[in-house]
Amino acid sequence: MTTRLLTLGAAAVLFAAGAFAGLKLFGEPERAALPQLEVATYMPAGRPLQDFELIAADGGTLRSADLQGDWTVLFMGFTNCGHVCPMTLFTVGEAVEQIEARPNVLFVSVDPARDTPEVITRYLASFDAQFLGATGEAAQLDRLAESLGAPYLVSKEDNRYIVDHSGALFVIDPAGRFRALLSPPHDANVIAADLKKILAAA
């Protein structure tokens, strides 16, 4: 029996808000102006991710350093998710299509026991061929989740298989820093508008 539990609920939002407050408290360099965003929580200096190493959907290795050089919208979920994951991926796909300098979309499965690279590849193909996918061992997933404040749960107890996770989208900048959080409910037009402002402000 394997049980993995991280605190759920508003942890991701509190994490991002705390990070932003910390930047203000300890002195963030002055910017001309912060972007006026609809729903995103924005961190002007960003927060570096812990180093991690995941299994990419193509069978290779995805490292934290591989996210550098491009903007990335990251979502953590699982392929057997009945509603939240498919709706989120569909919505973010519509959003990034509206952005000229389209960011990458990375889906990270927190259910590696069932979500092999082959399963993830087939799953993402039904949304957008350009989406990236990955999964990994629990310790590596935990490192990424801790960096993002992205709580998740995988529990196998009493013949029940339970997976729970944050519904948030995490925006990673080209320096590999956690820059913004988009909390659900998600709307493609609002996501696109906020992403355009975030990319322009960086």
Q: Positive or negative CA dihedral for 158, 160, 165, 167?
A: negative
CATH of the domain spanning 3-201: 3.40.30.10
| Tokens describing residue 126 | 């039904």
pLDDT value of position 159: 83
| Structure-token pair, residue 111 | 């259910």
Q: What is the pLDDT of residue 24?
A: 41
Q: How many CA atoms lie within 13 A of 13 on its CB side?
A: 9
In b/e form, how buried is each residue of 23-33, taking b as 16+ CB within 10 angstroms? beeeeeeeeee
Q: Enumerate residue ranges in the chain where pLDDT < 50.
A: 1-32
